[in-house]
Structure 1
Amino acid sequence: MKTMKNWLLTGLLFMIVSTVFSQGKVSGTITDDAGATLPGANVAVKGSTNGTSTDFDGKFTIDVKTSTGELVITYLGYDSKTLKFSVLNGATTNLGAIVLESNSNELSEIVVKSTVVDIAKDRKTPVAVSTIKAAEIQEKLGTQEFPEILRNTPSVYVTKSGGGFGDSRINIRGFDQKNIAVMINGMPVNDMENGSVFWSNWAGLSDVTSAMQVQRGLGSSKLATPSVGGTINIVTRSSDKKEGGSFSSGFGNGRNFKVQGSYNTGKLANGLSASVLLSQTMGDGYINGTQFEGTNYFIALGYATKNNKHDFQFTLTGAPQSHSQRSTVSTIATYQKYGSLSDPNIRYNADAGYLNGEEYNIRKNYYHKPVASFNWDYKINETTKLSTVLYASMGRGAGAGATGGVGGLIYNSPAFLLPNGMVDYDKIQAWNSGQGTVNFNGANQTRTQIGGVYQNSSSTGRTGTSAANYVYNTTSGISQTSSINSHDWFGAVINLNKKLTESLTLDFGLDARTYTGYHFTVVNDLLGGGEFYDNNIASLKPAGRHLTSTYPTEVQWNVFDKKSYDKISFNSTGKVKWLGLFTQLEYSKDNLTVFVQGAASQQGFKREDDFVYLPTDKLASTSYKNIFGGNVKGGANYNINEKNNVYVNAGYYSRQPFFNSVYPNNRSIVNPNLTNEKITGFEAGYGFRSRLFNATVNVYNTTWNDRYLKGNALPSDNTTYTEYLGLNEVHSGIEIEANSNITEKLKVNAMFSYGIWEYKGNATVNAYFQADNSPVTGFTDVPVYMDKVKVGDAAQMTASLGASYEVLTRVTIDANYNFNDKLYAGISPTNFSSPTNKGALELPSYGLVDAGFSYKMLTGKNKDKSVNFRLNVNNLFDKIYIAESRTNIFASDNVTSNAAAGTYASNNRLYKGIADGNQVFFGFGRTWNFTLRYDF
């Protein structure tokens, strides 16, 4: 009996020792549901402290000390997964590809923590959505501009507009970016006066974005945002990003150069964390005379309590920049004149020239818009969360241009152009200083002084309404002036998230903002003149002022410095107060998610003006004009099974008009026809998800009534602008997006969208001069017949097909074809003054091929660092194409008012079927950029 016990004890001990000391390895590759590898995913043996993380290719190998067990795999933004393993002693078990399902559309941890950031979740939130991850932004954007990464998203149209640094613009479903809500970490960033987003002010976002999500249509934001066409949600990196950093350097054509460095501490044991980034970029620009220089800084500081009840994040980011621009929209004939009939000079810039032997451009933008935010996420208990964002932005800067003229000639009139089409600023300087002559009124003229000085002003040197009664003078000159558009903006968003039951969640909160915009003009350069005469201050008329002070076109780094200026032309302050309340109720159980949300806001608009009005005039400082608005929307998503889902949503917005609609023509009288814009949207979609293939199909219809639109200049005069009242539009269409992993190395993606975007009914239009906002004779309350006219400025049919192939380990080539059709010109009122007008001009379709090459070299003892090489070539085949047109001149239109002169077609004045009198911007030709990055 004793012997038997000894044998049993010996056997048991042998089994224990064998178990304890058996060793093996388990390996695998972690990917997302689209097949993309996930570097940095955590892999741990359940019930132990043994763990590792995946390398840059998503691969891992972990030593295990038991023959069987379970691995727990986690990655921020994804559902965790537990897998069983078994391994023989000394052997390796490969688990193959392990797929993690996204729980937040691959966004960073801040999405999980904050209920302020409204991110749509795949197969749950019933909206049309596309997500672009940081890796794709970092890889494919290179030295391009931030909006261009969205080019292959359904119903998105991106152009470089004039081609200056940061001057790109974006449309979603035919709506421009004033009507697209742009959100950064839950903060609305659309200008509170006019809804604008100037991407040059956000040039650094591409460096610090964790992910960007485009929600087409009314979107999932709980705030009463201007998301008529869609919402662009940008989530920046958080301070507790994994420890590490990177250094990169990139360059491209046009002497484009960029250098960047960043470092993240990771979350320290004491709960503190920090992330910093600094980058610098500069270049000559692709378009002639568009030199630029920009800086980007980003600082994030964080603290989390040990019990994870409180999480604090402070973020400060800014991108001070200055860049020369191409603001003048030339005709096709002009591009051909300085190129050839078949090969127009698409880089031509009618604003660029030379002064004192150096390149000079009177058109320039310089701005600094730092944004600081403080996020506090408070987990009150297991069912209640409070998220708060406090933010502030102080924008300082301006856009520089030309003021005045010479005998009615502006700075880039033919009299001031060199044979190559560049502006001869030396000639302007010579005229201004009385040293040269200019031919106008049929003869060479010499400048004369006023009061013993060469006096510049806003006068063009010609008065009268037509050639028959023009009166010329020889006293006027040309100056460079800047329209300052600075602001102080403070806001808060507070959201309480309460889980009422396992399936029912209630959100409600507050959105409060206050905004003060400062608008005035200053003199930058008299260009040889002796003084500037301004007679726009009501209290100083008729004597006016004689000014000699000038101010440089330089970025103001210290935004707290209240500079003192001699202001000219106009000086007004716009104040906007916003108070909003919002709520959302969401039901989510099993395969069904349903939500309903509503928001209400009151906006107050106040205008102050001490130029137009005497200090004693009550209009010098108006009271607030308060306008109520809001929205209600709802939707449902149903997951039919693990692969198929369907959704529907609908919503209604009553949106307050912009500031310049409340106080039109920069005067302090409230628009008597003031009305809210009304937007109604309906949408339905179907999704399919599988290991090898994903697809989404959406159909939508958006009706937009009582739209107020500030439109293009009159075709005959770029110094004007137009305003439309009472426009109605209907936008409907279909969108398809798909991607597939054909093999482990070959991935394919595609999209297709087709829209029918038309005006409905008729409207009225007014035209004004940009210099002083005075009405253009003959263009006041002019009826325009817009019914069934196509909405312009964005392609109504887009498609793309792309593929990437890993030819060798970590060596990848990729290419993408993007096609644009049904692209119409921007509306011009002269074309729609008759009920029998020809509609909007359709521009030629075009397709572009982009290509790239990537190589990742693993370095370091544990191969956890890498050197990355990336080459992008955009518009590979150097396609020449028209990206946008400001005018609607048809081939069948007469060249002049004299019908006997014939049409553009009969005079062979067509380019690809388009009349060469149209004012257009061509897209860029072939461009390239190369980036070298070290990640550690």
Structure 2
Amino acid sequence: MNLVQKSMFTALITLSTASVYYAQSVKTDTLSKENAIDEVVISGVADIAKDRKTPVAVSTIKEAQIVEKLGNQEFPEILNSTPSVYATKGGGGFGDAKLNIRGFAQENIAVMINGVPVNDMENGAVYWSNWAGLSDVTSAMQVQRGLGSSKLAIASVGGTVNIITRAADRREGGRVSLGVGNDGYVKTGVAYNTGKNAKGWSSSFLLTRTGGSTYASGTQFEGYNYYFALGYQKGKHDFQFTLTGAPQYHNQRSYEITLQTLIDRGSMDRPDRRYNQQEGVLNGKEYTFRRNYYHKPVMSLNWDYKISPSSKLSTVGYASFGRGGGTGDLGSVGGKRASAFVNADGLTDFDAIIAANAASTPDKGVLIRRSSINSHNWFGLISNFNHKINDNLNFSVGIDTRYYHGYHYQVVSDLLGASAYKDYSNQNNTPNYVSNTFKANPNFNPFGGKVNSINDQIAYSNDGEVLWYGGFGQIEYSNDRISAFVQGAVSNQGFQRIDNFIIDGGTTLNGKVVSATNQPSATNPLLYKKTGFKNLVGYNAKGGLNFNIDEHSNVFVNAGYYSKQPFLNAVYPNNKNFLNPNLTNEKILGFEAGYGFRASWLNANVNAYRTNWKDRFLRRTQQINPGGGLPIINAYANIQGIEEIHQGLEFEAKSKINDIITINAMFAVADWHYNGNASGTLFNETNEPIDDNGNVVASGQAGVRTLYLDKIKVGDAAQMTGSLGFTLTPVRDFKFDASYRYVNHLYANLNVLNFSDQTAAAKGALELPSYGLVELGASYKFRLPNKKQSFTVRANVYNLLNTYYIQNSYTNTFAGDKYSTGVTYKGIDTGNQVFFGFGRTWSTTVAYNF
């Protein structure tokens, strides 16, 4: 921390300490329901933790806080004031945020909307750009750290983020808003709620448009968000229908950049943290090889049926239809890949690429922009029956069924002056000269099947099917002082891979129905188009106890065990129709204990946890620098047999001193590390095993290397975080808030090349410099003569002190290593590939409420 940051942090601590003594003599409103979600929301099948009752570590963020503090930040960043949460902007493109809880990435965090899981069913990914409008319709967001209280057999290794949207029957009213921010950010929106009429009908709608650029260079974007809810209540029945979607495109910054490059473009004190090596100019406009575009409308129908005073049935049916993908470079011209075409400004020289393509032919080789399509159809049904046996005991049973069909292939996005692209990938049509191009823009009509002919597809074309069905049950006991639960869930996931470029031999092999015992392999290489479904059973069991010591204090404990099915890329690795011979479920064992204090002036929680995760499979993208001026090689690694231990302590508190001052504090410290070694294999873009220099090896086994991970720190998330902030409301309609967030013990990410050498691995994971950030915000509400109408003005400044900080590193390079430069920046070798966080940014919003 520099002197200014230390002074501010000291002042906030002093203010916080003084508040405790002052609060004891001041009559204030209670904070005892701070974690409660009591607004009119769609809850249905959602498992919402109840304060002083549900024995889990939980934090709740209300709608008002989201509206006030989010501004032009990424949606998950609102959680950075929550213990053990590390949310960043990723590469900095619109919607490219990354969320990490207790050291677990978002692929292993269950993200749910109104109790419905939204993690990708093939790989667990969460693409926040697909949900860019959630902040506009969220009534509350509850973070349950650890295994959580959800009854479903979901992948909540690190935690559960349950986003609760507003229901159709909110009170009548509307809002028109205009927001502006740094780098041309503009957001406009309109929303209206009809309220519930005498016949039980209600509706709500919202429409927004957001555009501009982020702080990072070359990140233009445009996105829309629509939301419609229709409700009907009559007697024992409550129906809620919702439809929402967020069609968008955004230019990206996909790969971390070496520190030395950023220093060369700026200075040692001020590296060029905006630089985007994928950016360029074409026809006078911003153009890039990396552009994401998608449209994923989601619709759901919730039905709550109050069968009797003691019995209730909650059911939700849902469907989503995602269409879109992301672009990148493909091919080479004159023996040069895209990374070789750089102009004097360090940007991609698209004019030079077009000239080179014009001088070549498809047979000699051309360089194009391709689109990797990642579309899907997804259907699901969740139903939960709850029965109250008596005043203290109740039970729930239910089902969770889902079907997912993903479409994955590439098409030509831009020929960049070439006449066609020559492709050998489709066995049914080789060679294939492809000249049709498809713009990288979202499809506003995403329903239906594939949108491109197989003759227009290049490189690969495969479908992934996931069939999921499961059941769950829970028994819960509660009285005035004790609440306890026992849960269990079991699910079957069936995975099938369909390779459309293989000459179709049917779904049988050697006259037998395809099964786990007669799959193709390296010794039996016969391929078929469909693999047949590989069924994997998983289960979990959880239990917990909460004891209210008195009206102020409570303690809780919980424990759980998960046998979690791996993702599709672990079932059929290497992008082939070969079943993984080492396939096994991942095992997660978690323990947690906590203490809570509730009073009129203070809410406080302290938690301790330990999670052990065994038999993990991980696929990582990898950039290989062969040196000698040769182009960078894009590759990926399959890593098997990972074991991780995550343990730590968490503290959070909120103190309302009086009607003027409220103080928030959070602190978390952890030890996340690997236990034992693992094995990893590198593959190039054509799925051939390669060595550390990118050379193809003779066989798959030759590419396997031991990763020396024992006791190595888990990277990509800070193992110590803290924040302290206050809100001042000196007069009725004016509010001012400030916060300071501190990040320490942040390590570089797992990288196959760094840890396959035992000598290099002995140096451990690279620890990045600590940093602290200051945020400010203020708002004022202008009340109009008509009491139902008002104007609200809100302004936010993020990273007020314009601090330079590294938010993550992809590499673990130390002095003397292969890619070391011998130069350091804040103790970090400048050969490391990193992303800096954004500098000072700002946003302001004016809203008319009626």
Confirm or deny a common fold (TM above 0.5): yes
Aligned to 1:404: 331
In 2 relative to 1, CA 612–331 (structure 1 residues): closer, same or farther, beyond 3 Å? Answer: farther
Q: Distance in 2 between matches of 1:104 and 1:817?
A: 22
Indicate which of 358, 361, 368 corresponds to 2:285.
358
Give the Å deviation of 1:101.
5.2
The question of whether the paired residues in 2 share the 8 Å contact of 1:719 and 1:770 is answered with: yes
Aligned to 1:582: 472
Deviation at 1:858, TM superposition (A): 1.5
* Residue 597 (str. 1) matches residue 499 (str. 2): no
Question: 1:538 touches 1:614 (CA, 8 Å); kept in 2?
Answer: no
Pairing 1:109-258 to 2, within 5 Å after superposition = 109-110=40-41, 114=44, 116-258=45-187
1:431-442 maps to which residues of 2 (within 5 A)?
431-434=356-359
Q: Answer yes or no: is 1:370 the counterpart of 2:288.
A: no
Alpha carbons 1:328, 1:718 under 8 Å: kept: no
Q: Paired residue for 2:671? A: 756
Decide which of 404, 423, 429 is 2:348's aligned counterpart. 423
Aligned CA-pair RMSD: 1.8
Separation of aligned partners in 2, 1:772 and 1:551: 25
- Separation in 2, partners of 1:712, 1:821: 26
**Distance in structure 1 (CA, Å) of the matches to 2:634 and 2:410:** 16
Deviations 1:838-869 (A, max 9, x none): 111111011100111111112233x3332111
Residues 890-901 of structure 1: pairs in structure 2 closer than 5 A: 890-893=814-817
Letter in 1 for 2:320: S
SS in 2 for 1:409: coil
Q: Does 1:916 align with 2:830?
A: yes
Partner of residue 606, structure 2: 697
1:382/1:402 CA distance change after superposition, 3 Å: same
**1:881 pairs with 2:798:** no
For the pair 1:108 / 2:39, whether they are aligned, the reply is: yes
Distance 1:728 1:816 in 2: 36
**Structure 1 partner of 2:447:** 560
The equivalent residue for 2:640 is 725
| Cα 1:408–1:681 shift into 2, 3 Å | farther
Give the C-alpha shift of residue 98 in structure 1: 5.7
- How far apart are 1:251 and its partner, in Å? 0.5
Distance 2:738 2:834 in 1: 28
Cross-structure match for 1:495 = 384
Compute the displacement of 1:321 (Å).
0.4
1:643–1:773 distance in 2 versus 1, CA, 3 Å = farther
Amino acid at match of 1:267: K
User: Residues 100, 917 of structure 1: CA spacing in aligned structure 2 closer, same or farther, 3 A cutoff?
Assistant: closer
Contact 2:610 2:648 in 1 (8 A): yes
Residues in 2 aligned to 1:913 and 1:101: alpha-carbon distance in whole angstroms: 46
Cα distance in 1 for residues equivalent to 2:535 and 2:241: 33
Conserved? CA contact 1:804–1:813, under 8 Å: yes
Contact 1:108 1:235 in 2 (8 A): no
TM value normalised by structure 1: 0.82
User: d(CA) in 2 for partners of 1:625 and 1:253?
Assistant: 50
Cα displacement string for residues 747-775 of structure 1 (whole angstroms, at most 9, x for unaligned residues):
11000000100000011001112355665
Matched, 1:508 2:397: yes
Work out the CA distance in 1 between the residues paired with 2:485 and 2:741.
Answer: 35
Q: Deviations over 1:156-205 (max 9, x none)?
A: 00111110000010000000000000000111000000000000000000
C-alpha separation in 1, matches of 2:624 and 2:362: 31
Asked whether the equivalents of residues 714 and 722 of structure 1 are also in contact (C-alpha less than 8 Å), the reply is no
Q: Give the stretch that moved more between structures: 352-361 or 393-402.
A: 352-361
Alignment of 1:821 onto 2:752: no
1:715 deviation in Å? 4.4
Query: What pairs up with 1:828-843 in 2 under 5 angstroms?
Result: 828-836=751-759, 837=761, 838-843=763-768
Residue 334 of structure 2 contacts residue 356 of structure 2 at CA under 8 Å; is this kept in 1? no
Deviations 1:465-502 (A, max 9, x none): xxxxxxxxxx2221000110000000000000000111
Quote the Cα distance in structure 1 between the aligned partners of 2:334 and 2:834: 27
CA positional deviation for 1:741: 1.4
Shift in Å, 1:358: 2.0
Look up the match of 1:260: 189
Instruction: Give 1:539 deviation, angstroms.
Output: 3.0
* 1:894 CA drift (Å): 5.5
Residue 635 (structure 1) aligned with residue 549 (structure 2): no
1:526 CA displacement? 0.6
Whether the 8 Å contact between 2:333 and 2:357 is mirrored in structure 1 is: no
Give me the whole-angstrom Cα distance separating, in 2, the residues matched to 1:104 and 1:252. Answer: 31
Answer whether contact 1:506 1:584 (CA < 8 A) is retained.
yes
Q: Deviations over 1:112-134 (max 9, x none)?
A: x62x1101011100000000000
Unmatched runs of 5 consecutive residues or more in structure 2 = 1-26, 509-527, 626-631
1-side partners of 2:133 and 2:333: how far apart?
41
SS in 2 for 1:151: helix
Summarize deviations over 1:806-845 as a string: whole Å, max 9, x none. Answer: 2333212111101111100011122222344211111101
Aligned 8 A contact 1:107 1:210 in 2: no
Change (3 A) 1:715 1:791: farther
Q: Deviations over 1:648-690 (max 9, x none)?
A: 0000000000000000011111100000000000000000011
CA distance in 1, matches of 2:548, 2:624: 53
Q: Is 1:846 aligned with 2:734? A: no
Instruction: Decide which moves more: 885-894 or 143-152.
Output: 885-894
Alignment partners' CA distance in 1, 2:446 and 2:689: 33
- Of residues 812-821 and 824-833 in structure 1, the stretch that sits farther from structure 2 once superposed is 824-833
Equivalent position of 2:414 in the other structure: 525
What are the superposed Cα offsets for residues 48-94 of structure 1, whole Å, 9 maximum, x if unpaired?
Answer: xxxxxxxxxxxxxxxxxxxxxxxxxxxxxxxxxxxxxxxxxxxxxxx
- Would you say the 8 A contact 1:815–1:849 is kept in 2? yes
Q: State the 1:362 CA deviation.
A: 1.5
Aligned to 1:571: 461
Question: Does residue 382 of the first structure (1) align with residue 279 of the second (2)?
Answer: no
How far is 1:430 from its partner?
A: 0.8
* Bigger relative contact order, structure 1 or 2 (CA pairs below 8 A, ≥6 apart): 2
Structure 1 residue 892 displacement after superposition: 4.3
User: Do 1:107 and 1:133's aligned partners in 2 also have CA atoms closer than 8 Å?
Assistant: no
Structure 2 counterpart of 1:455: 362
Q: Is the 8 A contact 1:569 1:772 kept in 2?
A: no
* Mapped contact 1:685–1:696 kept (Cα < 8 A): yes
> How many Å separate the matches in 2 of 1:408 and 1:748?
61
Q: Which has the larger radius of gyration?
A: 1
Change (3 A) 1:525 1:387: same
Q: Which residue number corresponds to residue 841 of structure 2? A: 927
What is the correspondence of 1:680-691 to structure 2 with a 5 Å cutoff? 680-691=589-600
Q: Output the CA distance in 1 between the equivalents of 2:40 and 2:719.
A: 36
Q: Aligned equivalents of 1:172 and 1:110: distance in 2?
A: 25
Shift of 1:535: 0.8
Which residue does the alignment assign to 2:211?
Answer: 282
Shift in Å, 1:718 = 4.9
Asked whether the equivalents of residues 479 and 525 of structure 1 are also in contact (C-alpha less than 8 Å), the reply is yes
1:766 and 2:676 correspond: no
1:34 corresponds to which residue?
Answer: none
Give the match for residue 6 of structure 1: none
Amino acid at match of 1:217: G
5+ residue gaps, structure 1? 1-95, 435-446, 448-453, 457-474, 896-902
Q: 1:572-631 CA deviation, whole Å, 9 max, x = no partner?
A: 010000001000000001210000000000000011112145445742111110000010
Deviations 1:485-528 (A, max 9, x none): 00000000000000011100100000000000000000011100
Counterpart of 2:772 in 1: which secondary structure?
strand
Q: Deviations over 1:366-394 (max 9, x none)?
A: 00000000000000000000000000000
Q: Distance in 2 between matches of 1:101 and 1:875?
A: 32
Give the whole-Å Cα distance in 2 for the aligned partners of 1:834 and 1:524: 40
The residue that corresponds to 1:78 in the other structure is none
Q: Is 2:439 aligned against 1:549?
A: no
For 2:256 and 2:147, locate their aligned partners in 1 and report how far apart those are by CA, in whole Å.
33
Secondary structure at the aligned position of 2:354 is classed as helix
In structure 2, what residue type is equivalent to 1:120? Answer: A
* Cα pair 1:725 1:764 within 8 Å, conserved: yes
